[in-house]
Amino acid sequence: MTGRRSSRHDAIRGGQPDERSAHRPPRCFVENLPPDGGEATLSPEESHHIAVVLRLGAGAPVEAFDGEGRSAQGWVSSVHGRTVSLELEIPICEAPSRWHGTLLQGAPKGEKKDEIVRAAVELGFHRVILFAAERTIGRPSAAACGRWAERWRATAIAAAKQCGRNRLPQVLWFGDMDAAVAASCDADVSLICDTGSGAEGWTVMRERLLLPDSGRRVRVAVGPEGGWSEAEVRRLCAAGFAKIQLSRQILRVETAAMAAMCLVAAELDLRSD
C-alpha cells in the first residue's frame, strides 16, 4: 500500500516536492476504516466537506480517522457528484490515553453546549455528561434529545478534525443530576467548581490530584448559568466531590468549564511519568 501511494503522489506532483507535504493533510471522519487499507466512501457530510468546502479533487492527500483512535493516510481516489471515495493505507492505532477525564456539566442555554463539547475534544476529555440542573434553562423534550445528540457528535467530529485528535469523547444527556453522577461513578477524583465556603484553590487540589494513590480518572462538575443550588452542592459533596474555586471572579459557565478542563489536562495529559 505504501509503495502504491508514493508512486501515485509522485505522479501527481511530477516528482517534485509538494509544499503541502510539510503540513498535515486535510482530515476526514470515516466511521469504519478498512482494516487492511483500501477504498472507503465518505458520508454525504464528509463528502461535502472534502469536495465543496475544501474543493479537493482526485489525488489530493487526506488523513482519515475513525473516532476510536485509528487513523490512516491516503488520497482522494474519485469525486462523483456528491460522493467522494478515498484510497487509504493500513490504519495505525494510537496508544490509549493514560488518564480519563469526565466533565459533568449542568446544561447551559443555547450554543454554549457546543462550545463546551468542542473544548472537551481539544483538551482530551473522554466523556461529557450534560444534565438538567435545578437552574438549567431550556430542557429538551424526549424527541429533541436525539437531535441534540446528533448535533453534539457533529461538533465533536469537527473539533477532532481541527485539533488532530483521533478519539471522540462520549457525549451524554441526563434529565437530572443524580443520574449524571451515577453514570460517572468510576472516577478516582471528583471535583465540583464552586465559589462558596470551604472551596479550595487549585494549588491544594493539584497536590491531591497528583497523589500516588489518587488514580487518573477525574470528573469535574460545573454548574449552569446561575450556579448550583445549595441542595445540589450538598448532594455532590455527599457523593465524594471536593469543592474547588477557579477564580476570585464569577466566571461564565463556558469559561468555568474550559478553565477546569484546562487545569486537569495540563496536569495529567502532559505528564511524562
Q: What is the pLDDT of residue 146?
A: 85
42: which 3 cell numbers? 465518505
Q: pLDDT tens, 7-18?
A: 344 433 333 334
CA-closest candidate to residue 268, choices 219, 221, 232: 219
Distance separating alpha carbons of residues 46 and 84, to the nearest angstrom: 8
Distance of alpha carbon 167 from alpha carbon 55, whole angstroms: 26
**Which secondary-structure segment (H or E) carries 238?**
helix 230-238
pLDDT at 15: 35
What gap in Å lies between CA 177 and CA 46, rounded to an integer?
Answer: 35
Contact 242, 190 (CB under 8 A): yes
Residue pLDDT, tens place only, 166-176: 999 999 999 99
Which of these ranges, 19-23, 170-174, 259-263, has the smallest mean pLDDT? 19-23
Cα–Cα nearest to 156, from 169, 142, 175: 169
Q: Among 47-51, 218-222, 263-267, which stretch is predicted with the lowest mean pLDDT?
A: 263-267
- The pLDDT of residue 2 is 40
Domains of the chain, CATH where assigned: 2-93 (2.40.240.20), 100-268 (3.40.1280.10)
**pLDDT score of 142:** 75
Q: Which long-range contacts (CB under 8 A, 24 or more apart) does 254-259 make?
A: 254/108, 254/112, 254/115, 254/116, 254/119, 256/193, 256/222, 256/223, 257/103, 257/105, 257/116, 257/119, 257/222, 258/116, 258/119, 258/123
Give me the pLDDT at residue 255, please: 95
User: No. of H helices and E strands in the chain?
Assistant: 8, 12
Reduced to 3 states, what is the DSSP secondary structure of residue 106? Answer: strand
Q: Is the confidence at residue 184, as pLDDT, over 90?
A: yes
Per-residue pLDDT, 198: 80
- pLDDT surpasses 90 at 201: no
Give the model's confidence band at 125: pLDDT under 50 very low, under 70 low, under 90 confident, else very high: very high
Q: The C-alpha cell of 153 is what?
A: 457528535
For residues 223 and 232, the answer to whether their CB atoms sit within 8 Å is yes
Asked whether residue 238 carries a pLDDT value surpassing 90, the answer given is yes
Read off the pLDDT of residues 64-117 as tens digits, 9 standing for 90 and up: 999 999 999 999 999 998 899 999 999 999 998 889 999 999 999 888 999 999
For the entire predicted model, the pTM comes to: 0.85
